[in-house]
Structure 1
Amino acid sequence: MNSKKKAVIILSGGLDSTTCMGYAKTSGYELYPITFDYGQRHRIELENARKVAEFYEVSHRHKVVRLDFLREFGGSALTDDTIEVPEGAESPEEDIPVTYVPGRNLLFLSIAASYAEVNGAEAVYIGVNAMDYSGYPDCRPEFIRKMEEVIAVGTKAGAQGKTLSIETPLIDLTKAEIIREGMKMGVPYELTTSCYNGKEEACGICDSCRLRLKGFAEAGMTDPIPYEQHTT
């Protein structure tokens, strides 16, 4: 009987979620990655997630869940083709960036908790980061704590006194710090993408690309993926 502790990792195929795979692996968890196909503009990340799961030799446990209604709802530059992805850093004066997807992490964590409960996992890893994405309400520490409370009272496991923790190892780290830690753990950044535009080569000019490039530069390292433009 396999008694190894288990963790579900919300794996987008991006830098942050893949670093979470590294953290969970290093912490001794058996990995159960879950990826969401929600009609995102950057659909190339779905293939990246498959490659990351293969790298960690857990393709047989990797679940890809479709949430088509998020594209039908729209309301985000990542799911609505009528809203342009901003070039350059989004204005710090904006309360909520246009790349915020309404309800995304709320849904992701609820479904990941279901996958965790079925498999007897005791943790869910999510790569939220309050430093770089402080405008996203579903990346804040208070949101994570409230979700833990909801899962505890709304699941059979919780009713039986079994704790499911939501692990956010990146939440207080800068992008450079995330990259340095990931490199120590052998995270395969060459298999990841961060671009919002979803092209074969990352654009290098969207907010996400700029944050990633800036992080590698500040970490004193070279980003291993190709870019159409290379700006920081």
Structure 2
Amino acid sequence: MHLDTEHNNAGKRAVILVSGGLDSTTVLAMARARGYRCYALSFDYGQRHRAELFAAERVCAALGDVEHKVVKLNLDSIGGSALTDTAIAVPEEETAGIPVTYVPARNTVFLSIALGWAEVLAADDIFIGVNAVDYSGYPDCRPEYVAAFQTMANLATRAGVEGQTLTIHTPLMHMGKGDIIRAGLALGVDYALTVSCYQATDDGLACGKCDACRLRREGFREAGVPDTTRYLS
């Protein structure tokens, strides 16, 4: 893992994982501010909250990526998560342990495809908006997971074997949601374009009750700025 502090990346290519939510949109803005040429990558993976894909299109257009690629997967074919199996209800109360909204191996699958695209683009950098502070207990959002994946990436690729070091950037890893929102606003992010809700309507209306909505709402309170999210109630 690495966090740039200098804007010395002008012209460098980077793959940015963009879900259409608050965190990944902030990461895209951060990568652009650091001078990277951003290649945004989103996934149509069978998620029940498909409004996030429309949000990803909006934020990529607004922030000016070089290319936005949407890769179709069928993680709903294996299920195991409230986000990919409509028979499992999205919890509307806080739960202990790893919640049912955890999608098995999702970040590993997403990062693997990002790694492949980075090789094709001859890009040394991948950005992902994982967070160890407000991460809902997901095991694939922890610093040790990202560090392990980065080690694997540099062992498993032609680029790595030939001496091209790939870095996984996690600029939000140790930031609270309020700090993330303040950072994004300073970079001109319009959070009204984003969707975080696990069960948003097709029009992007948020339930206001799931974990993602609670974290988002609390983040705006912490940041001391109006919450522009469109809630059902």
Q: TM-score range by the shorter chain?
A: over 0.9
Q: Distance in 2 between matches of 1:140 and 1:84?
A: 25
Given candidates 101, 104, 107, the residue that maps to 2:103 is 101
Which residue in the other structure is 1:169 paired with?
Answer: 171
Q: Is the 8 A contact 1:197 1:203 kept in 2?
A: yes
Q: Distance in 1 between matches of 2:39 and 2:82?
A: 29
Q: Paired residues, what number? A: 222
Given candidates 62, 66, 72, the residue that maps to 1:66 is 72
Which residue in the other structure is 1:197 paired with?
Answer: 199
Q: Distance in 1 between matches of 2:46 and 2:116?
A: 21
Q: Share of identical aligned residues, percent?
A: 54
Given candidates 78, 81, 88, the residue that maps to 1:76 is 81
Q: Distance in 2 between matches of 1:195 and 1:46?
A: 12
Which residue in the other structure is 1:38 paired with?
Answer: 45
Given candidates 146, 150, 153, the residue that maps to 1:151 is 153
Which residue in the other structure is 2:226 paired with?
Answer: 222
Which residue in the other structure is 1:87 paired with?
Answer: 92
Pairwise mapping of residues 111-122 of structure 1 onto structure 2 (< 5 A)? 111-122=113-124
Q: Distance in 2 between matches of 1:167 and 1:125?
A: 5
Which residue in the other structure is 1:23 paired with?
Answer: 30
Q: Distance in 2 between matches of 1:134 and 1:215?
A: 14
Q: Distance in 1 between matches of 2:141 and 2:209?
A: 23
Q: Is the 8 A contact 2:99 2:136 kept in 1?
A: no
Q: Is the 8 A contact 1:134 1:140 kept in 2?
A: no
Q: Secondary structure at the match of 2:71?
A: strand
Which residue in the other structure is 2:7 paired with?
Answer: none
Tell me which amino acid in the other structure corresponds to 1:202.
A
TM-score when normalising by structure 2: 0.93
Higher mean alpha-carbon deviation, 182-191 vs 7-16, is at 182-191
Which residue in the other structure is 1:48 paired with?
Answer: 55
TM-score when normalising by structure 1: 0.93
Given candidates 180, 184, 187, the residue that maps to 1:185 is 187
Tell me which amino acid in the other structure corresponds to 1:21.
L
Tell me which amino acid in the other structure corresponds to 2:19.
S
Measured after TM superposition, the shift of residue 134 of structure 1 is 5.1
Measured after TM superposition, the shift of residue 61 of structure 1 is 1.2
Higher mean alpha-carbon deviation, 154-163 vs 126-135, is at 126-135
Given candidates 14, 17, 22, the residue that maps to 1:10 is 17
Q: Which runs of 5+ in 2 are unaligned?
A: 1-9
